[in-house]
Amino acid sequence: MTSVVWAADNRTLFFTTEDPTTKRSNLAFRHTLDSGTPQQVFAEPDERFSVSLDRSRSDVYIFLEAGSLTTSEVRYLRADQPAGDFRLVAARRQDVEYDVDHRGDEFLIRVNDTGRNFRLVSAPVADPSPAAWKEVVPHRADVMLEQVLPFRDHLVLSEREQALNHLTIRDYASGASHRVALPEPVYSVFPAGNSEFDTRVLRYSYQSFITPASVFDYDMASRTPRLLKQTEVLGGYDPARYASERTYAVAADGARVPVSLLFKKGTPRDGSAPLLLDGYGAYGFSAYVTFNSNVFSLVDRGAVVATAHVRGGGDMGKPWHDGGRMLNKKNTFTDFIAVAEHLVAQGYTAKDRLVIQGGSAGGLLIGAVVNMRPDLFTAAILQVPFVDVINTMMDESLPLTVAEFEEWGNPKNKAEYDYMKSYSPYDNLAAKAYPAILVKTSLNDSQVMYWEPAKYVARLRTLKTDQRPLVFKINMAAGHGGSSGRYDRLREIAFDYAFMLWQMGLAPAT
The edge-to-edge listing of strands for the beta sheet with 134-137 is 98-103, 106-111, 119-124, 134-137
CATH number for the domain harbouring residue 456: 3.40.50.1820
pLDDT at 36: 79
- Angstrom distance (rounded) from CA 321 to CA 90: 24
- Kindly tell me if the per-residue pLDDT of 320 is higher than 90: yes
Please tell me the number of Cα atoms within 13 Å of 19 on its side-chain side.
Answer: 18
Catalytic residues, which ones? 360, 445, 480
Q: What is the rounded average pLDDT for all residues in the chain? A: 95
pLDDT at 480: 81
> 123, 138, 153 — which closes off a domain?
138
Residue 510 lies in a domain: no
User: Whole domain around residue 281: which residue ranges?
Assistant: 239-504
pLDDT at 500: 96
pLDDT at 370: 98
Q: Do residues 128 and 106 both lie within one domain? A: yes
Q: Do residues 199 and 328 both lie within one domain? A: no
Tell me if 376 sits within 8 A of 340, measured CB to CB.
yes
What is the residue type of 461?
Answer: R
Q: Do residues 103 and 170 both lie within one domain? A: no
Q: Do residues 116 and 163 both lie within one domain? A: no
pLDDT at 486: 80
Residue 324 lies in a domain: yes
Q: Do residues 161 and 310 both lie within one domain? A: no
- Angstrom distance (rounded) from CA 87 to CA 123: 14
Tell me if 88 sits within 8 A of 75, measured CB to CB.
yes
pLDDT at 489: 86
> 197, 232, 267 — which closes off a domain?
232
Mean pLDDT for the stretch of residues 324-342: 98
Q: Do residues 367 and 495 both lie within one domain? A: yes
Q: Do residues 74 and 219 both lie within one domain? A: no
Mean pLDDT for the stretch of residues 233-240: 94
For residue 508, what are the β-bridge partners? none
Q: Which residue has the higher pLDDT, 447 or 125?
A: 125
Mean pLDDT for the stretch of residues 12-34: 93
The alpha carbon of residue 49 and the mean position of all alpha carbons in its chain are separated, in whole angstroms, by 19
Q: Do residues 129 and 152 both lie within one domain? A: no
At 351-365, the pLDDT tens digits run: 999 999 999 999 999
Q: 436-442 and 379-383 as β-strands: parallel, antiparallel, unpaired?
A: parallel
At 282-314, the pLDDT tens digits run: 999 999 999 999 999 999 999 999 999 999 999
pLDDT at 432: 98
Residue 509 lies in a domain: no
- Kindly tell me if the per-residue pLDDT of 379 is higher than 90: yes
Please tell me the number of Cα atoms within 13 Å of 490 on its side-chain side.
Answer: 4
> What dihedral do alpha carbons 499, 503, 505, 509 form, nearest 10°?
50
Q: Do residues 129 and 162 both lie within one domain? A: no
- Kindly tell me if the per-residue pLDDT of 509 is higher than 70: no
Interior CA angle at 91 toward 90 and 94, to 5°? 120
pLDDT at 231: 97
DSSP 46-97: -TT-EEEEEE-TTSSEEEEEEE-SS-EEEEEEETT-TTS--EESS---TT--
Tell me if 18 sits within 8 A of 26, measured CB to CB.
yes
> 86, 120, 138 — which closes off a domain?
138
Which residues have C-beta within 8 Å of that of residue 106, sequence separation ≥ 6? 122, 123, 124, 125
Number of domains in the chain: 3
Q: Do residues 448 and 305 both lie within one domain? A: yes
Residue 80 lies in a domain: yes
pLDDT at 40: 97
DSSP 407-454: HH--TTSHHHHHHHHHH-TTTT--SS---EEEEEEETT-SSS-THHHH
- Angstrom distance (rounded) from CA 472 to CA 388: 16
Q: 61-67 and 50-55 as β-strands: parallel, antiparallel, unpaired?
A: antiparallel
Percent of the chain at pLDDT exceeding 90: 91
Min mean pLDDT across 148-157, 421-430, 501-510 is at 501-510
pLDDT at 510: 59
Q: Do residues 102 and 131 both lie within one domain? A: yes
Residue 190 lies in a domain: yes
Q: Do residues 64 and 185 both lie within one domain? A: no
